[in-house]
Chains A and B, each alone.
Chain A
Amino acid sequence: MFKTTPEVGGMGHSIKRKEDLRFVQGKGNYVDDVHLPDMVYGHLVRSPYAHARLKSINTDKAKQLPGVLAVITGEDLAKANLAWMPTLFFDKQMVLATGKVLFQSQEVAFVIAEDRYTAADAAELVEVEYEELPVLVDPHKATDPSSPILREDREEKSNHIFHWEVGDRQATDKVIQNAAVTAKVHAFFQRCHPAPLETCGCVADFNSATGRLTVYLTSQAPHAHRQRHRRARVLRRRFHQPARARHRRARNQVLEERQVRADSGFRANPWSRYPHLGCHLAGVPEGVAGREDQMTESPGPMANRRSEQNS
């Protein structure tokens, strides 16, 4: 094996990490460390109910709190055709709830204020009237006729949203039929939250003069985020791809040199939509992050997966 001398180092030698020098000095430059001039802060109002009709949202008191710049609801977004956004699986999802909420902690309103303390206070002042609906928490019951239909926005009133199949069904069935032994496994995967110590966060900085949006994001999938925005044509602008942005496969993903923690796909979720909208509407950089938000936004499980094995 080719190995250089110890003086030269590199190939064949163990090397120390480069980033540790700034981490041990507290110069990690995490997303919450980003402070831009005139930056404002966002705070989400979330639904306590898993399934409920939104009867009314009153944002007057929240808007009147000094230091509050805007309180955005799904209704406001609908006016700009931004209430729904495409998903990676050819469906669409609500950005802010319109009409009803479909999961506990779903985002109902977004407060933008001059500082995070005011934003938190204003979020409490948003008055939401919910009409609770029956909940559906077991995916196996989703297609039972007695189960509530969640997606009333779709033409087909069913909880079966999409079907995804890959491979050769006929050939697979044949192999299973002809197998000497077949076995079924009912495996339960509980909801899992990677809980990285750095919470998810996003700072969005839209420069209306140049039409450029710079996003500082805790993300493993910066390109997925850009794709999402491109497809959604959110702002009809070119997205600024920083010259030095790099995409690394391994632990530390980099977008504009922001140090983030990569966590088993956890950070590929569409967090960034709120600050983007916020800064677009408010015209200033916008940041949001938080442990409570992160815990409630963690992706649901691939629950109760059945698999058939054969040998």
Chain B
Amino acid sequence: MAKKQVVHVKVNGREREAEVEPRMLLVHFIREVLGLTGTHVGCDTSHCGACTVLVDGKTVKSCTMFAPQADGCELFTVEGLIKDGQLHPLQEGFKEEHGLQCGFCTPGMLMSSYALLQKNAKPSEDDIRWGISGNLCRCTGYQNIVKAVQYAAQKMEQGGTK
């Protein structure tokens, strides 16, 4: 049995720590050790992006990272979007624009869109499609997801939110 590793993270602003096998995938660490099941596992091959989270501000596929790699890092998951009971404009956008059906890809889409809007507050449709190109959706056909992100971009610009 391999020597366990201590993984200390700040997830959605909260300090958490656990000792795990080094091979534990970050997605399992988030879902099972941290108990945050909003991040999903959708495939075996690092394609679908349902596991997307932010590590130190950058989107990663948490199924393609070992938990110890995130030691000392700041994690941001879908559960961190809501603030004081208020939906983030992206969450509102997905709701308003029917940007989801089964909802399984949605957390990953939200994380990728969040990262996109941080870098580019006024994305074109092409920018949005490029920004979510690492996330697969089997339900919507993507056009309403694009609309959801456009809704959020507009709302964020008006409201001065980040």
Contact = CB atoms under 8 A, between A and B. Distances in A.
B32 interface: yes
A199 interface: yes
Contact of B110 (A24, A194, A198): A24
Contact of A198 (B23, B37, B42): B42
Given A21-B95, A26-B77, A117-B23, A197 B36 contact: no
Interface string B30-64: 01100111111111110010100000000000000
Given A35-B32, A198-B102, A117 B78 contact: no
A33 interface: yes
B95 A24 contact: yes
Interface in A256-296: 259-261, 290-292
**Interface size range on A against B:** 20 to 34
B35 to A, nearest CB: 8
Contacts of B28: 116
A184 interface: no
A197 B42 contact: yes
Nearest to B43: A291
B91 A261 contact: no
B117 interface: no
A20 B100 contact: yes
B11 to A, nearest CB: 13
B96 to A, nearest CB: 7
Interface in A193-249: 194-199
A20 B110 CA distance: 13
A199 B138 CA distance: 12
Given A195-B138, A197-B50, A259 B42 contact: no
A117 B94 contact: no
Contacts of A23: 100, 103, 106
B132 to A, nearest CB: 14
B42 A291 contact: yes
Given A28-B38, A117-B23, 6 more contacts: A30-B104, A35-B32, A194-B138, A197-B104, A199-B41, A260-B102
5 contacts: A16-B95, A23-B103, A24-B91, A33-B37, A117-B23
Interface stretch (B79-87, B121-129, B153-161): B79-87
Contacts of B100: 20, 23-24
B24 interface: yes
A261 B91 CA distance: 20
A292 B41 CA distance: 12
B104 A28 contact: yes
A25 B94 contact: no
Contact of B42 (A17, A26, A199, A260): A199
Contact of B103 (A35, A259, A290): A259
A25 B38 contact: yes
A198 to B, nearest CB: 4
**Prevailing SS type, chain B contact patch:** loop
Nearest to A251: B101
A292 B39 CA distance: 19
Nearest to A262: B102
A180 B95 CA distance: 56
B138 A26 contact: no
A117 B2 CA distance: 13
A255 B77 CA distance: 28
Nearest to B91: A24
The listed residue with most B CB atoms (<10 A of its CB), out of A19, A194, A197, is A197
A25 B23 CA distance: 28
A75 interface: no
Interface in A179-196: 194-196
Interface in A158-195: 194-195
B40 A30 contact: yes
Given A20-B94, A20-B95, A197-B136, A28 B42 contact: no
A30 B42 CA distance: 12
B105 A197 contact: yes
Contacts of B43: 291
Contact of B39 (A26, A29, A195, A291): A26
Contacts of B40: 28, 30, 32, 197-198
A27 interface: yes
Interface string A77-116: 0000000000000000000000000000000000000001
